[in-house]
C-alpha cells in the first residue's frame, strides 16, 4: 500500500495517532505541499494537540495564502489552545490584509467572546467596528 493510501485509510478509521507519523513522512518528503501540512494539523487537532495543530495550519496557510480553511483552522486551534496572544497577533496581521475579516471573527460564536477582552476590543476598534 502506498503511503497516501495508508494515511487515508487511517484517517477514515479515525486512527489519528497512527496517522500522524504517516502524514509527517509525507510532509518530510514534500514540505512545500500545503495540503499535507493541513492534514497534519487535522490529526493533531483531533487528538486535542491544538497548539501543535495551529502551527501546522499556519504553515499550510503560509504556503497557500488563498486557503482560508487553513486560516480558519489556525484561528480555531489557537483559540482552543488558549494561545490568545498568538491569536491576536495573527488576527492583527490578517485584518491588515483582509479588513473584512474582523466581521467574520465577530460573527463566529467561538471567537466573538474573545472581543470582550481589552486587547481584542482594541483590534475591533482599530478596524472601525
CATH of the domain at 5: 1.25.40.10
Grid cell listed for 70: 487553513
Please give the C-alpha separations between residue 23 and each of 68, 87, 90, in angstroms, as whole numbers: 21, 25, 25
In terms of residue numbers, what domain contains 70? 1-82
Question: For residue 85, what pLDDT is reported?
Answer: 95
Question: For residue 84, what pLDDT is reported?
Answer: 95
Question: For residue 9, what pLDDT is reported?
Answer: 96
> What crossing angle do the helices spanning 50-63 and 68-80 adopt, rounded to 10°?
160
Q: Are residues 100 and 68 in the same domain?
A: no
* Of 113, 123, 34, residue with least CA distance to 74: 34
The single-letter DSSP state of residue 127 is: T
Q: Are residues 93 and 62 in the same domain?
A: no
Question: For residue 11, what pLDDT is reported?
Answer: 96
- Count how many domains the chain has: 2
Q: Are residues 93 and 45 in the same domain?
A: no
Residues of the chain with pLDDT under 50: none
Q: Are residues 104 and 58 in the same domain?
A: no
Question: For residue 125, what pLDDT is reported?
Answer: 86
- With beta carbons less than 8 A apart as the criterion, state whether 91 and 75 touch: yes
Please list, in sequence order, all residues whose beta carbon lies within 8 angstroms of the beta carbon of residue 88, skipping any fewer than 6 positions away.
119, 120, 123
Q: Are residues 59 and 87 in the same domain?
A: no
pLDDT in tens, 16-30: 999 999 999 999 999
Question: For residue 124, what pLDDT is reported?
Answer: 85
Burial class (CB in 10 A: 0-12, 13-18, 19+), 24: middle
Amino acid at each position: 500500500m502506498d503511503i497516501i493510501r495508508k494515511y487515508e485509510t487511517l484517517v477514515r478509521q479515525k486512527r489519528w495517532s497512527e496517522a500522524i507519523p504517516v502524514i509527517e513522512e509525507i510532509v518530510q518528503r514534500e514540505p512545500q505541499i500545503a495540503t499535507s501540512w493541513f492534514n497534519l494539523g487535522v490529526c493533531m487537532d483531533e487528538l486535542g494537540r491544538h497548539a501543535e495543530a495551529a502551527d501546522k495550519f499556519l504553515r499550510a496557510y503560509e504556503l497557500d495564502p488563498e486557503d482560508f480553511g487553513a486560516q480558519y483552522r489556525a484561528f480555531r486551534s489557537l483559540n482552543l489552545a488558549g494561545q490568545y496572544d498568538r491569536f491576536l497577533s495573527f488576527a492583527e496581521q490578517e485584518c491588515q490584509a483582509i479588513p473584512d475579516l474582523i466581521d467574520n471573527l465577530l460573527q463566529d460564536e467561538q471567537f466573538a467572546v474573545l472581543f470582550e477582552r481589552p486587547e481584542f476590543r482594541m483590534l475591533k476598534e482599530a478596524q472601525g467596528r
